Amino acid sequence: LSLTGVEHSRHPAMSPCQTPGGSNRLYDSNLGPPKVLSPESEQAYPLEETSPYGIKSCSPVYSEHIEVLTGYENQEARNYLDSTRPAALSPRIEITPSREHYSHGRDSLQNHHLNISPRPTLTVPGHENLAYREPQCLSPASSNSSTSWHSENYSPWASPCVSPSSAQNPGDLCPRLQNIHTGSPRTSPGTSPHTSLGDDGLGPRSPSPRPGSRSTSPQGKRTYDMYRNPGLIPGHRSRSPSPNNGHEDHNIGAHYTHTSLTDAMNGFGTNHPNLVPTKIVKTSNQVYTLYPENHGDGNYMVSCDQDIKTKPAAEPFFVIPSVWPKPLVSSLCSIPVASLPPLEWPIPRRTDQYELHIDVQPKPHHRAHYETEGSRGAVKAPTGGHPVVQLHGYRGKEPLGLQIFIGTADERILKPHAFYQVHRITGKTVTTTSFEKIINGTKVLEIPLEPKNNMKAIIDCAGILKLRNADIELRKGETDVGRKNTRVRLVFRVHIPQPGGQHVSLQVASHPIECSQRSAHELPMVEKQDMDSCSVLGGQQMILTGQNFSSDSKVIFMEKTQDGQQIWEMEATVDKDKSQPSMLFVEVPPYRDASVCHPVKVNFYVINGKRKRSQPQHFTYTPLASPSIKTEPIDEYEAERMGFAMPQILGLSPHSYYHSPRGILHPDNGLVSGMAPCQRLSSSLPNQDARFQQQSPAIVYSRGGKSLSGSPAMWQTGGMMPDPHRSVLVHTGSPAQSVGPINAGQHPSIIQFSPTNHHLIRAGEPQPLTGPQPDNQQIIYCDSYSPQAAATHSPTPPQVAVTHPQHYPTVIQQQKGRTPAGTGQMDASADGQRRVTVKEENLDQAYLDDGECKLMLLYSV
């Protein structure tokens, strides 16, 4: 245990309102780096070297920054504390072992309580009602991300902040500034990696001084199977909300997870729902201020003021404002975040009226930088410039905000990438103004889209920050693994206000970007293939365009079963004479079974050497005599190449349509599984090609976050309204389904999902549907689908611009004649309609075909 930095003697105006210590250390320059005493050997360990015991930084109390070394009750340390703390100000600090035995290691903190006495009463000028409460127990679960500051009716952490030198801009005001001096030996002050917010402003990072900085698996050594199957990881928790058991993060040791802090900041933490600590970090020339946007709706703006001139970096300073400023939200996007679709929601790229388009794609490789590194610059275009994004069809005069975040690029749903964050690049070479904000733990850049620039933006301010796998994998509910998860996409989103307070949201994602250092130079990457299907006989030549091909490159075709078992593999013949480093000429091998009667989706990859293989690419073998079977949906990458987006949903990509181990999807299979009562109705399906002609519907959200309210009968969850940020609204509106103008009087048809467990929250009574019924396809209209809506199906495109979301009819496409097996059933209703009833917990996956705006629920049979 060490007590360092008795700062108040030099900063009499210092406020007790310091941010949680996180992993930062405040040194008293007179005392030097703090030492840690081992109770066994009494050997002093410089903190930077890290003692053999867990180190935990806890919230500074008054002005004292405390490093808590747990695992031992150290009388000497206590004496030291007693002798050094100013009696009038400093509380007594005790560390007491809990009942449980403690381990000797980084995990030991969990078993100790930090007690502070006497209970101090602190006030903030002008806010005497702000009260400090003694932490009942500073267990790691609480202390790693939050403080013990409470207020009955006022949350200091949720308050807007003012920085002293930016007072002219009310948006940058911050009443509580804390200089977190990290002593990072090599990083520039402005990018100090060990600030409590980190460079990304998202959360404290683990101090990883060398030696011993090599990150280890947070749960100890993991097997690769554990990586593949997080459920095997001891103590791993699913995405479902964890109870406040006080042990969630105990094994973190010195690590502070990103999520926990974010949760705390957003007030979502289960441990301390009332704690909303605003983090303020002052580095030598930057002040990061996190403050809640829109009255604590869970989103935080980050103000980064680079112009603040302050004392030298090592000189902490603290400022108490005389008055608290008004809340401020400075964002290009004036729409309340609560009204906007969550980042993981699928959103189309275009409507009848608008289209968000990436004119210049980013380079397929961009080495992301760690917090411990300097920036590696903005993502660039292959030509040397930068990506360019343009909004077409906008006639307004007001500039809009283009949001940028880092999304996943794997075969699942496009969502914010857990291991990468967008990084705001500033500097002389950056011409684009950008703003940062945090939306549910994801950093989002906003840059202006201005009519004077033809609504075009050059993305020269977006870099990519890599978060450490160990940090992220510790996040509560995080199931993704970081290893080999190094591909991302830039996701661009724009919200276009509409008359009546509604707005249209569009989103487009870039091509995948490989972010690892080595992969960029070693792994082969297929960027394009000139064909994606041929007959089962093969023999056709396919040209692959990409990078890092070699004369030894092989192309392997393979097929896997639903459970992931590989059942076929065949090496294709590569024409080495023609092939180049960026191009391969491949002869497609014949499929293993020439007698198949339906298209078969397989994968292929390019491999250089033993393990240097590309991402799997997709290929379809078509039967020789193809019956009239609806072709498989194409994957999103292919879709994007073809000029339309395929929003994904519920964690299922089009690929999962074929490869999900649980969701068996076969053209001959029925669609089974977990839906609440829905009615299966028949209707004509649009021609497959129609998707290429149709405009994707926009998701139109109304202001005020009421878009999911629906009718009173909408929810079956005991009256609880779902968190709009944790649910997915599925809707349609395509011309194919002929939704047509949707009026408020029409019945909505909304399926509410929880993305964490894929529950279908509600479905309603079946409604009849008229119209032609093809033999092999059926449509399910879920919930209170309006027959009028169906009857008014029109060949004209829908009027999507002014549509309330609760009025979207949802169409579920289903193969005909398949009775859901096991958990589901299909029966006939009184009016001759058949009904599908499936247990909701078995809804494994679903798939939204945006082009046709059908929802496909994939059932496990």
Partner DNA sequence: AGTCGAACTGTTCCTGACGGG
Partner DNA sequence: TCCCCGTCAGGAACAGTTCGA
**What does the binding site for DNA look like in residue numbers (CB under 7 A)?**
185-186, 188-191, 208-211, 213-217, 220-224, 226-227, 284-285, 367, 370-378, 380, 425-430, 463, 466, 468-470, 482-486, 516-519, 521-522, 609-612
What is the number of alpha carbons within 13 Å of residue 854 lying toward its C-beta? Answer: 24
| Closest by CA position to 651, among listed 238, 200, 249, 358 | 238
In angstroms, give the least distance from the CB of 521 to DNA: 7
In angstroms, give the least distance from the CB of 838 to DNA: 36
With tokens 């705006």, the residue in question is 853
| Closest by CA position to 789, among listed 735, 740, 835 | 740
847 bridge partner residues: 856
Among left, alpha and beta (phi > 0; psi -120 to 50; other), residue 470 is alpha
Of the pair 129, 582, the CB lying nearest DNA is at: 582
Maximum CA pair distance of the chain? Answer: 90
CA distance 471 to 474: 6
With tokens 């933006």, the residue in question is 457
Q: Which two tokens stand for residue 141?
A: 């679960």
Of the pair 405, 419, the CB lying nearest DNA is at: 419
Of the pair 254, 596, the CB lying nearest DNA is at: 254
Of the pair 199, 852, the CB lying nearest DNA is at: 199
Asked whether the beta carbons of 235 and 249 are under 8 A apart, the reply is: no
In angstroms, give the least distance from the CB of 223 to DNA: 5
In angstroms, give the least distance from the CB of 377 to DNA: 2
In angstroms, give the least distance from the CB of 39 to DNA: 25
In angstroms, give the least distance from the CB of 791 to DNA: 54
In angstroms, give the least distance from the CB of 612 to DNA: 6
Of the pair 190, 477, the CB lying nearest DNA is at: 190
Instruction: Kindly write down the DSSP assignment for every residue of 595-609, as one continuous string.
Output: T-SS-EEEEEEEEET
Could you tell me what percentage of the chain is helix, strand and coil, using 3-state DSSP and rounding each to the nearest 5?
Answer: 15, 25, 60
Of the pair 315, 522, the CB lying nearest DNA is at: 522
Of the pair 59, 182, the CB lying nearest DNA is at: 182
Of the pair 190, 451, the CB lying nearest DNA is at: 190
In angstroms, give the least distance from the CB of 62 to DNA: 31
In angstroms, give the least distance from the CB of 67 to DNA: 19
Asked whether the beta carbons of 470 and 218 are under 8 A apart, the reply is: yes
Amino acid letter for position 64: E
Q: Is the dihedral of CA 739, 745, 749, 750 positive or negative?
A: positive
Of the pair 519, 533, the CB lying nearest DNA is at: 519
Q: Which two tokens stand for residue 106?
A: 């980084």
Of the pair 378, 857, the CB lying nearest DNA is at: 378
- Give the containing element (helix H, strand E) for 612: strand 612-613
What value, to the nearest 5°, has the Cα angle with vertex 205 and ends 201 and 209?
Answer: 135
Of the pair 284, 603, the CB lying nearest DNA is at: 284
| Closest by CA position to 368, among listed 213, 518, 189 | 518
Task: Report the first-to-last Cα separation within the chain, whole angstroms.
Answer: 59
In angstroms, give the least distance from the CB of 835 to DNA: 46
Amino acid letter for position 292: P
Asked whether the beta carbons of 583 and 575 are under 8 A apart, the reply is: no
Of the pair 384, 627, the CB lying nearest DNA is at: 384
Instruction: Read off the DSSP letter of residue 22.
Output: T
Of the pair 285, 773, the CB lying nearest DNA is at: 285
Of the pair 204, 269, the CB lying nearest DNA is at: 204
Amino acid letter for position 774: P
| Closest by CA position to 413, among listed 714, 686, 730 | 730
What is the number of alpha carbons within 13 Å of residue 796 lying toward its C-beta? Answer: 7
- Give the containing element (helix H, strand E) for 457: strand 456-458
CA distance 492 to 414: 12
In angstroms, give the least distance from the CB of 525 to DNA: 13
In angstroms, give the least distance from the CB of 54 to DNA: 17
In angstroms, give the least distance from the CB of 177 to DNA: 19
Give the contacts of 718 (CB within 8 A, at least 6 positions apart): none
Of the pair 414, 520, the CB lying nearest DNA is at: 520
Residue 266, classed as helix, strand or coil, is helix
Give the contacts of 712 (CB within 8 A, at least 6 positions apart): none
Backbone angles phi, psi at 369, to 5 degrees: -110, 150
Among left, alpha and beta (phi > 0; psi -120 to 50; other), residue 783 is left
In angstroms, give the least distance from the CB of 186 to DNA: 5
In angstroms, give the least distance from the CB of 106 to DNA: 13
Q: Is 452 exposed, middle or buried (0-12, 13-18, 19+ CB in 10 A)?
A: exposed
